[in-house]
């Protein structure tokens, strides 16, 4: 299922952009079961979400599936693909969609329980029809591994609220165009945006948690987080590396996993009276800030970075 994770990531950011610029950032408050529901806000949420999803499915049909023949429904086991980076991407996409759905419903007065039921499950619900569409197109297929990753992303939002009564552990994404893309003859994308979607070597997924919850100390700012990340490198193919693309040889590389430790910023904990900065901070909710980092990889190497993105 090539580049399926990037589908989830790109759609998550599109949804985030739409909701932030529709006023979500300016109404980001904690509703409760006794808060009157803002019906206008609810209808607006339904309208924007419906338009977003209809547009997403249209994009899939005209772009992702345009060269793929319709075939009988079938399954595809891609659990070993891209050293599981695509599964982390699926989980991230579902997490971002569920996070946005839950908090938006809360902000318009929907009670916590219903917000979790209808908003917290949003990512899993939105991703399921896409998997079904994959199952009816040649070269793709319905993946139980993708479904499990989608479920994890939504469960992370719900679990945070049930266990901590807040989104204590945040799931974040960072990207830096890898050196591999320059030697791929277009296989990992021809433009910067294309490479964002196709170059899994540049993807890193993080779980970020506030330091002052781990170390009880008044002087530690609430916005300072510690993050653990996962990525992989050396990949010129889903299960194994290709040797040439478009008639151009591809360099031989070793595929390996990366386990990372770094610092981060929780943008939701930075207080400001500026409406513009509120929008900026909300837009950065799912982005891991570049910081010094340590890497332990599957080649047995321990590396340090002055700045890692």
Note the pLDDT tens digit of each residue in 235-292: 999 999 999 998 899 999 999 999 999 999 998 888 888 878 877 787 788 999 899 9
How many angstroms separate the CA atoms of 14 and 279, rounded?
A: 15
Based on the fold, state whether residues 124 and 194 are members of the same structural domain. Answer: no
Determine the structural domain holding residue 163 and report its residue range: 1-167
Sheet holding 256-265, edge to edge: 170-175, 203-210, 224-233, 256-265, 291-297, 302-308
The pLDDT confidence band at residue 45, using thresholds 50, 70 and 90, is low
Among residues 107, 133, 167, the one where a domain terminates is 167
Based on the fold, state whether residues 141 and 45 are members of the same structural domain. Answer: yes
Among residues 118, 142, 167, the one where a domain terminates is 167
Based on the fold, state whether residues 157 and 34 are members of the same structural domain. Answer: yes
Residues 140-153: pLDDT tens digits?
A: 899 999 999 999 99
Based on the fold, state whether residues 131 and 179 are members of the same structural domain. Answer: no
How many angstroms separate the CA atoms of 90 and 96, rounded?
A: 10
Which residue is associated with the tokens 């699926």? 90
Residues 201-237: pLDDT tens digits?
A: 999 999 999 998 888 777 889 899 999 999 999 999 9
Pick the closest to residue 76 from 132, 129, 8, 149 (CA basis).
Answer: 132
- Residue 93 predicted with pLDDT over 50: yes
Pick the closest to residue 26 from 304, 280, 227 (CA basis).
Answer: 280
How many angstroms separate the CA atoms of 104 and 115, rounded?
A: 8
The pLDDT confidence band at residue 28, using thresholds 50, 70 and 90, is very low
pLDDT of residue 30: 40
Based on the fold, state whether residues 78 and 188 are members of the same structural domain. Answer: no
Model pTM score: 0.85
Based on the fold, state whether residues 72 and 125 are members of the same structural domain. Answer: yes
How many angstroms separate the CA atoms of 88 and 307, rounded?
A: 22
Which residue is associated with the tokens 């900026």? 280
**Number of domains the chain contains:** 2
- Residue 4 predicted with pLDDT over 60: no
Does residue 217 sit in helix, strand or coil?
coil
Average predicted confidence (pLDDT) for the chain: 84
Based on the fold, state whether residues 16 and 91 are members of the same structural domain. Answer: yes
What DSSP assignment string belongs to 72-86?
---B---TTGGGGHH
Based on the fold, state whether residues 276 and 193 are members of the same structural domain. Answer: yes
Which residue is associated with the tokens 């509703």? 31
Based on the fold, state whether residues 123 and 8 are members of the same structural domain. Answer: yes
The pLDDT confidence band at residue 42, using thresholds 50, 70 and 90, is low
How many angstroms separate the CA atoms of 229 and 222, rounded?
A: 20
Pick the closest to residue 235 from 255, 251, 218 (CA basis).
Answer: 255
How many angstroms separate the CA atoms of 307 and 290, rounded?
A: 6
Based on the fold, state whether residues 10 and 138 are members of the same structural domain. Answer: yes
Torsional class of 272: left (φ above 0), alpha (ψ -120 to 50), beta (otherwise) = beta
What DSSP assignment string belongs to 142-190?
B-HHHHHHHHHHHHHHHHHHHHHSS--SEEEEEE---GGGGGSTTTT-S
Going by their DSSP bridges, the two strands 244-245 and 291-297 should be labelled as unpaired
- Residue 21 predicted with pLDDT over 60: no
273 CB neighbour count, 10 Å cutoff:
6
Q: Is 15 exposed, middle or buried (0-12, 13-18, 19+ CB in 10 A)?
A: buried
How many angstroms separate the CA atoms of 112 and 119, rounded?
A: 10
The pLDDT confidence band at residue 14, using thresholds 50, 70 and 90, is low
Among residues 123, 147, 167, the one where a domain terminates is 167
């Amino acid at each position: 299922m090539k580049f399926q994770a990037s589908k989830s990531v790109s759609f998550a950011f599109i949804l985030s952009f739409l909701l932030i610029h529709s006023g979500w950032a300016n109404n980001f408050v904690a509703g409760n079961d006794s808060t009157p529901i803002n019906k206008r806000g609810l209808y607006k949420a339904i309208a924007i979400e419906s338009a977003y999803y209809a547009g997403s499915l249209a994009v899939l049909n005209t772009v992702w599936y345009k060269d793929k023949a319709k075939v009988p429904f079938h399954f595809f086991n891609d659990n070993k693909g891209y050293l599981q980076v695509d599964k982390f991407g699926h989980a991230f996409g579902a997490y971002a969609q569920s996070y946005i759905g839950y908090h938006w419903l809360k902000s318009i007065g929907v009670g916590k329980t219903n917000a979790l039921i209808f908003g917290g499950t949003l990512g899993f619900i939105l991703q399921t029809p896409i998997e079904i569409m994959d199952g009816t197109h040649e070269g793709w297929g319905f993946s139980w591994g993708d479904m499990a990753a989608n479920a994890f992303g939504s469960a992370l939002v719900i679990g945070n609220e049930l266990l901590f009564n807040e989104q204590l552990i945040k799931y974040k994404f960072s990207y830096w165009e890898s050196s591999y893309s320059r030697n791929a003859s277009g296989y990992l994308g021809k433009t910067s945006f294309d490479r964002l979607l196709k170059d899994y070597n540049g993807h890193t997924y993080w779980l970020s948690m506030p330091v002052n919850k781990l170390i009880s100390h008044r002087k530690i700012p609430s916005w300072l987080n510690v993050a653990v990340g996962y990525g992989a490198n050396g990949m010129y193919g889903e299960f194994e590396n290709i040797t040439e693309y478009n008639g151009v040889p591809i360099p031989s590389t070793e595929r390996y996993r990366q386990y990372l430790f770094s610092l981060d910023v929780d943008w939701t904990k930075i207080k400001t009276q500026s409406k513009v900065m509120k929008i900026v901070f909300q837009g950065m909710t799912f982005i891991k800030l570049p910081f010094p980092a340590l890497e332990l990889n599957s080649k047995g190497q321990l590396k340090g970075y002055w700045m890692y993105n």
